[in-house]
Amino acid sequence: MKGAFDSVFGSISGLNSDSVSYRSNVDKLKQQISLADIDVQTKSQLFGILELPQGMQAIGTYNLDATQIKESFGSRLAASSLRMDSILNEMENRLLKNEVYGLLYSENGRLQKGSSQFEILSEAQATILSKENRPIWVNQSGVRDLEKDYARATKLYDERNFADAKDSAEKAIDDVIAIEKKGRVLTENPPLFSQDLLFQVAAVLAALLVALYLFNNRGKIRGFISPSAGEVDAGE
Protein backbone atom coordinates (compact mmCIF):
# COMPACT_ATOMS: atom_id res chain seq x y z
CA MET A 1 0.00 0.00 0.00
CA LYS A 2 2.78 2.43 0.89
CA GLY A 3 4.44 1.73 -2.46
CA ALA A 4 1.25 2.61 -4.36
CA PHE A 5 0.85 5.90 -2.49
CA ASP A 6 4.51 6.77 -3.04
CA SER A 7 4.07 6.13 -6.75
CA VAL A 8 1.07 8.51 -6.93
CA PHE A 9 2.83 11.21 -4.92
CA GLY A 10 5.92 10.82 -7.10
CA SER A 11 3.88 11.24 -10.29
CA ILE A 12 2.25 14.43 -8.99
CA SER A 13 5.63 15.81 -7.90
CA GLY A 14 7.12 14.98 -11.31
CA LEU A 15 4.22 16.60 -13.11
CA ASN A 16 4.63 19.74 -10.99
CA SER A 17 8.35 19.89 -11.83
CA ASP A 18 7.55 19.63 -15.52
CA SER A 19 4.95 22.38 -15.11
CA VAL A 20 7.44 24.69 -13.43
CA SER A 21 10.01 24.03 -16.14
CA TYR A 22 7.41 24.65 -18.85
CA ARG A 23 6.39 27.95 -17.27
CA SER A 24 10.00 29.04 -17.08
CA ASN A 25 10.54 28.27 -20.75
CA VAL A 26 7.29 30.03 -21.71
CA ASP A 27 8.35 33.15 -19.79
CA LYS A 28 11.69 33.16 -21.61
CA LEU A 29 9.94 32.80 -24.95
CA LYS A 30 7.51 35.61 -24.15
CA GLN A 31 10.45 37.82 -23.31
CA GLN A 32 12.08 37.07 -26.64
CA ILE A 33 8.77 37.76 -28.45
CA SER A 34 8.35 41.07 -26.70
CA LEU A 35 11.81 42.12 -27.89
CA ALA A 36 11.34 40.78 -31.40
CA ASP A 37 10.87 43.14 -34.33
CA ILE A 38 7.29 42.15 -35.12
CA ASP A 39 4.01 43.98 -35.04
CA VAL A 40 1.94 44.23 -31.89
CA GLN A 41 -0.96 42.19 -33.25
CA THR A 42 1.30 39.26 -34.00
CA LYS A 43 2.88 39.51 -30.56
CA SER A 44 -0.57 39.51 -29.00
CA GLN A 45 -1.56 36.42 -30.92
CA LEU A 46 1.64 34.60 -29.89
CA PHE A 47 1.14 35.53 -26.27
CA GLY A 48 -2.39 34.10 -26.43
CA ILE A 49 -1.11 30.84 -27.83
CA LEU A 50 1.49 30.56 -25.04
CA GLU A 51 -1.03 31.06 -22.24
CA LEU A 52 -0.99 28.05 -19.88
CA PRO A 53 -4.06 25.79 -19.86
CA GLN A 54 -6.30 26.14 -16.83
CA GLY A 55 -5.59 22.57 -15.75
CA MET A 56 -1.84 23.15 -15.78
CA GLN A 57 -2.20 26.21 -13.61
CA ALA A 58 -3.84 24.03 -10.93
CA ILE A 59 -0.93 21.55 -10.87
CA GLY A 60 0.91 23.60 -8.25
CA THR A 61 -2.13 23.46 -5.95
CA TYR A 62 -2.44 19.72 -6.50
CA ASN A 63 1.22 19.26 -5.69
CA LEU A 64 0.91 21.28 -2.45
CA ASP A 65 -2.11 19.22 -1.38
CA ALA A 66 -0.31 16.00 -2.29
CA THR A 67 2.73 17.03 -0.22
CA GLN A 68 0.56 17.70 2.82
CA ILE A 69 -1.31 14.41 2.35
CA LYS A 70 1.99 12.54 1.97
CA GLU A 71 3.34 13.98 5.20
CA SER A 72 0.14 13.15 7.08
CA PHE A 73 0.03 9.65 5.60
CA GLY A 74 3.68 9.08 6.43
CA SER A 75 3.27 10.12 10.06
CA ARG A 76 0.17 7.95 10.46
CA LEU A 77 1.91 5.02 8.79
CA ALA A 78 4.92 5.42 11.08
CA ALA A 79 2.67 5.52 14.15
CA SER A 80 0.84 2.44 12.92
CA SER A 81 4.12 0.66 12.31
CA LEU A 82 5.35 1.49 15.81
CA ARG A 83 2.08 0.26 17.26
CA MET A 84 2.36 -2.95 15.27
CA ASP A 85 5.94 -3.46 16.41
CA SER A 86 4.84 -2.91 20.00
CA ILE A 87 2.06 -5.49 19.66
CA LEU A 88 4.41 -8.01 18.07
CA ASN A 89 7.02 -7.45 20.77
CA GLU A 90 4.41 -7.87 23.49
CA MET A 91 3.16 -11.07 21.89
CA GLU A 92 6.71 -12.40 21.61
CA ASN A 93 7.32 -11.43 25.24
CA ARG A 94 4.19 -13.26 26.38
CA LEU A 95 5.21 -16.41 24.52
CA LEU A 96 8.68 -16.23 26.04
CA LYS A 97 7.17 -15.69 29.50
CA ASN A 98 5.05 -18.81 29.13
CA GLU A 99 8.07 -20.78 27.96
CA VAL A 100 10.19 -19.73 30.95
CA TYR A 101 7.33 -20.47 33.36
CA GLY A 102 7.10 -23.94 31.86
CA LEU A 103 10.83 -24.51 32.32
CA LEU A 104 10.63 -23.51 35.98
CA TYR A 105 7.32 -24.86 37.23
CA SER A 106 5.89 -27.41 34.78
CA GLU A 107 6.82 -30.92 33.69
CA ASN A 108 10.05 -30.61 31.79
CA GLY A 109 10.89 -32.66 28.74
CA ARG A 110 14.58 -31.84 29.03
CA LEU A 111 14.76 -33.34 32.51
CA GLN A 112 12.97 -36.47 31.34
CA LYS A 113 15.24 -36.71 28.31
CA GLY A 114 18.25 -36.46 30.62
CA SER A 115 17.02 -39.51 32.57
CA SER A 116 16.35 -37.41 35.66
CA GLN A 117 14.26 -38.76 38.52
CA PHE A 118 12.60 -35.34 38.60
CA GLU A 119 10.00 -33.95 36.19
CA ILE A 120 9.79 -30.33 37.42
CA LEU A 121 12.79 -28.05 37.89
CA SER A 122 11.40 -26.24 40.95
CA GLU A 123 10.87 -29.58 42.73
CA ALA A 124 14.31 -30.81 41.69
CA GLN A 125 16.13 -27.81 43.12
CA ALA A 126 14.06 -27.90 46.32
CA THR A 127 14.96 -31.56 46.89
CA ILE A 128 18.62 -31.34 45.92
CA LEU A 129 19.27 -28.13 47.88
CA SER A 130 17.37 -29.17 51.01
CA LYS A 131 19.40 -29.17 54.22
CA GLU A 132 19.36 -32.93 54.60
CA ASN A 133 20.10 -33.73 50.92
CA ARG A 134 22.60 -31.04 49.99
CA PRO A 135 25.71 -32.84 51.41
CA ILE A 136 24.97 -36.23 49.84
CA TRP A 137 25.80 -35.33 46.23
CA VAL A 138 29.20 -36.07 44.72
CA ASN A 139 29.01 -33.06 42.38
CA GLN A 140 29.09 -30.27 44.96
CA SER A 141 30.21 -27.68 42.39
CA GLY A 142 27.08 -28.59 40.41
CA VAL A 143 25.00 -28.09 43.56
CA ARG A 144 26.39 -24.57 43.92
CA ASP A 145 25.79 -23.87 40.22
CA LEU A 146 22.18 -25.08 40.55
CA GLU A 147 21.59 -22.77 43.50
CA LYS A 148 23.04 -19.81 41.59
CA ASP A 149 21.38 -20.48 38.22
CA TYR A 150 17.92 -21.23 39.65
CA ALA A 151 17.97 -18.13 41.86
CA ARG A 152 19.03 -16.00 38.89
CA ALA A 153 16.31 -17.50 36.65
CA THR A 154 13.52 -16.74 39.13
CA LYS A 155 14.88 -13.25 39.80
CA LEU A 156 15.05 -12.38 36.10
CA TYR A 157 11.57 -13.87 35.57
CA ASP A 158 10.15 -11.57 38.24
CA GLU A 159 11.95 -8.65 36.57
CA ARG A 160 10.31 -9.62 33.22
CA ASN A 161 13.71 -10.23 31.64
CA PHE A 162 12.46 -13.43 30.08
CA ALA A 163 15.24 -13.97 27.53
CA ASP A 164 17.98 -14.08 30.19
CA ALA A 165 15.68 -15.96 32.57
CA LYS A 166 15.31 -18.67 29.94
CA ASP A 167 19.10 -19.04 29.63
CA SER A 168 19.49 -19.37 33.41
CA ALA A 169 16.60 -21.86 33.69
CA GLU A 170 18.14 -24.04 30.98
CA LYS A 171 21.48 -23.92 32.81
CA ALA A 172 19.73 -24.97 36.03
CA ILE A 173 18.20 -27.96 34.20
CA ASP A 174 21.66 -28.97 32.97
CA ASP A 175 22.93 -28.61 36.56
CA VAL A 176 20.28 -31.03 37.86
CA ILE A 177 21.13 -33.61 35.20
CA ALA A 178 24.88 -33.27 35.90
CA ILE A 179 24.34 -33.64 39.66
CA GLU A 180 22.25 -36.76 39.27
CA LYS A 181 24.67 -38.23 36.74
CA LYS A 182 27.55 -38.23 39.25
CA GLY A 183 25.27 -39.63 41.93
CA ARG A 184 25.42 -39.64 45.69
CA VAL A 185 28.30 -40.06 48.10
CA LEU A 186 28.75 -43.72 49.10
CA THR A 187 28.83 -44.13 52.89
CA GLU A 188 29.80 -47.30 54.78
CA ASN A 189 27.11 -48.65 57.02
CA PRO A 190 28.19 -48.26 60.68
CA PRO A 191 28.69 -51.53 62.62
CA LEU A 192 25.75 -52.63 64.69
CA PHE A 193 27.97 -52.80 67.80
CA SER A 194 31.04 -50.78 68.60
CA GLN A 195 34.32 -52.48 69.50
CA ASP A 196 34.18 -51.17 73.07
CA LEU A 197 30.71 -52.59 73.51
CA LEU A 198 31.87 -55.98 72.24
CA PHE A 199 34.72 -55.97 74.78
CA GLN A 200 32.30 -55.13 77.57
CA VAL A 201 29.92 -57.92 76.52
CA ALA A 202 32.83 -60.39 76.36
CA ALA A 203 33.97 -59.42 79.86
CA VAL A 204 30.45 -59.88 81.22
CA LEU A 205 30.14 -63.28 79.54
CA ALA A 206 33.51 -64.34 80.94
CA ALA A 207 32.46 -63.29 84.42
CA LEU A 208 29.20 -65.22 84.05
CA LEU A 209 31.07 -68.32 82.92
CA VAL A 210 33.42 -68.09 85.91
CA ALA A 211 30.48 -67.64 88.29
CA LEU A 212 28.66 -70.57 86.71
CA TYR A 213 31.73 -72.76 87.02
CA LEU A 214 32.18 -71.84 90.65
CA PHE A 215 28.52 -72.50 91.36
CA ASN A 216 28.57 -75.91 89.70
CA ASN A 217 31.78 -76.94 91.48
CA ARG A 218 31.11 -75.40 94.86
CA GLY A 219 31.39 -78.81 96.68
CA LYS A 220 34.81 -79.54 95.31
CA ILE A 221 35.92 -76.06 96.00
CA ARG A 222 34.79 -76.38 99.64
CA GLY A 223 36.75 -79.65 99.93
CA PHE A 224 39.87 -77.91 98.79
CA ILE A 225 39.27 -75.05 101.13
CA SER A 226 38.08 -76.99 104.34
CA PRO A 227 40.33 -79.93 105.70
CA SER A 228 38.63 -83.37 106.16
CA ALA A 229 37.72 -84.72 109.66
CA GLY A 230 40.50 -87.39 109.65
CA GLU A 231 43.09 -84.78 108.90
CA VAL A 232 41.83 -82.77 111.88
CA ASP A 233 42.07 -85.76 114.36
CA ALA A 234 45.54 -86.69 113.22
CA GLY A 235 46.58 -83.28 113.83
CA GLU A 236 45.38 -83.37 117.37
Dist. CA 92–CA 22, nearest whole Å: 55
Task: Convert the pLDDT of each residue in 147-164 to its tens digit.
Answer: 999 999 999 999 999 999
pLDDT at position 172 over 70? yes
C-alpha to C-alpha distance for 211 and 189, rounded to whole angstroms? 37
Predicted TM-score (pTM) above 0.75 = no
> According to the model, what pLDDT value does residue 235 have?
47
What is the pLDDT, as a whole number, of residue 229? 46
- pLDDT at residue 216 greater than cutoff 60: yes
